[in-house]
Chain A
């Protein structure tokens, strides 16, 4: 960087060749920061294993997920059954693998719906302000007042306990955080010079929103979306645990934990396997979320 001649250091002053500082984009910078964050990397590794497990479970599991009496009931860990079998003699490892798929589907599905509703609402409210913002903000505030458990259970009861419905029901109670975040980002971004420049050249509103505002808000959106996944997984496990999630014999971790709880003293491995799988998954997503947050916006670090 060239500075004023009067204050430049002698070496800098005499050399004609200025070295260009290395140019890195926000995402390259973020990647460097994430790479230094051990917890986030560990979380990412766990998520990779989880995704692989879920994919493999579609084609192959040690035993069929639904198959009962593969071993004496309540049998513990053995060479044939790495995580033992449950009360009906089903192989727990197979069911954990199947459960990974269910959890991921709910988590990612909910996240996508949340992102879709939240981003759209947030962009509209933040960009158009005024009446649109008033309506959307009021909606958000009212929605926050409604207990999410009621809404989810109600929707699931009325429309059925399928995976898609559960993801949708959870998303319906979770979009407000995303909407509020995007609204705030949009509020700030729409006043920036590049948006003004775009507007001065006659760019249409939709193009400004999609090409200038949305990409610049992507960082915080990504962080928020990462946090939405474990929240949804947790909620699904919670529903299944109460017996209101996907109907059996679908191997949901929450339902497996509930089954195992009844035999807690006799065979703790039945409840511990899904409990550990669930905790690891949630922890992994939270770590990655924390890592992304620190990497993408160092000022947000708390």
Chain B
């Protein structure tokens, strides 16, 4: 690692922590200062004594700056506090467990996206202006224009209902989480829109590369088609495709929120929305902070990957 890279990483880490701090502060002040009602607002009136105990338990009876100070101290000790809705549930272990679930889903989606996208794009480029190309290109347009929840709905309809009928109940997908097969359908729903983008990019850059002189030389040398396509053409065609890894991973991190809610997967994305709808403010702050840091770190990871994949890029 050169000195430049080191400085770059440090800068980025500073920026990420700045973002996380800014977001958490805004959420904190917003929740405690701006939103109407306290954290325990409900349709049934609370017993005043009970409410006071609750408020005291969560330090909500203290002035705002002091609350914030306590919260920050907690964060620096690795604790994001305790859930307001489910008393006694510590947020940090909860979020880490959920992160594991989301990471599994995201990784599966990433593998699917890149696999399908590259295959479609490669086929479309090699068979340019044939039905393969048109099929690949039009499916790419469909994937590009369909929101992931629409794709998810169609997939659930097909795999949950139609597949059940067609195979007389041998194969079908059941909404839920736990069985290994239950990762496949959500991962496809999550990855499909991005797979179409990867396919479009791969097709375009592949078309450009296979017209280059060095590829013609490779053909002229009499190399096997597999070698020319994979080693000479695809390798270079991948360089523009790599640039989409950043938006791709951010997109998957965003898509996870929708997909997990649709498929009932107990991950970070579901917690994100559930905590907001449940008004569990402590978890909301935790999830926001966690998510901001996560997106930043993933993006940093991708940016550090670029020079590895394309040595011309340096920081």
Contacts and interface: CB of A to CB of B under 8 A. Distances in A.
Contacts of A268: 157
A257 interface: yes
Contact of A150 (B34, B154, B157, B288): B288
A278 interface: yes
B149 interface: yes
Given A158-B30, A265-B160, A275 B291 contact: no
A264 B250 contact: no
A234 B193 CA distance: 13
A238 B23 contact: no
A8 interface: no
A157 interface: yes
Contact of A142 (B15, B30, B141, B157): B15
Interface string B234-257: 000000000000000010011001
A271 interface: yes
B145 A279 contact: yes
Nearest to B287: A150
A243 interface: yes
A116 interface: no
Interface residues of B, number: 40
Contacts of B250: 147
Contacts of B224: none
Contacts of A157: 30, 35, 276
B13 to A, nearest CB: 12
A174 B222 CA distance: 50
B156 A242 contact: no
A278 B153 CA distance: 13
Best-surrounded residue of B149, B204, B276 (most CB of chain A within 10 A): B149
B292 A286 contact: no
A238 B16 contact: no
A226 to B, nearest CB: 14
Contact of A282 (B35, B146, B291): B146
Contacts of A209: none
B295 A243 contact: no
> Does more than half of chain A's interface fall in helix, strand or loop, or is it mixed?
helix
Contacts of A257: 149-150, 153
Interface in B242-292: 250, 253-254, 257-258, 261-262, 273, 276-277, 288, 291-292
B174 to A, nearest CB: 12
Contacts of A283: 141-142, 145
Contacts of B273: 242-244
Contacts of B141: 283, 286
Contacts of A275: 147, 149-150, 153-154
A264 B145 CA distance: 22
B30 A147 contact: no
B224 to A, nearest CB: 30
Contact of B149 (A142, A146, A241, A265): A241
B215 to A, nearest CB: 19
A239 B78 CA distance: 31
B161 interface: yes
23 contacts: A145-B295, A145-B296, A146-B292, A147-B253, A147-B295, A150-B292, A154-B23, A157-B35, A230-B145, A234-B147, A238-B147, A241-B147, A241-B149, A242-B273, A243-B273, A254-B147, A254-B149, A257-B149, A261-B153, A265-B157, A275-B149, A279-B150, A286-B141
Shortest Cβ-Cβ A-B pairs, 6 listed: A283-B145, A275-B150, A147-B295, A282-B145, A158-B30, A279-B146
Interface of A: 142, 145-150, 153-154, 157-158, 230, 234, 237-238, 241-244, 254, 257-258, 260-261, 264-265, 268, 271-272, 275, 278-279, 282-283, 286, 302
Given A150-B23, A244-B273, A282-B146, 16 more contacts: A145-B295, A146-B19, A146-B292, A147-B254, A149-B254, A149-B291, A150-B292, A154-B26, A238-B147, A242-B258, A243-B277, A254-B147, A258-B149, A264-B153, A278-B150, A283-B142
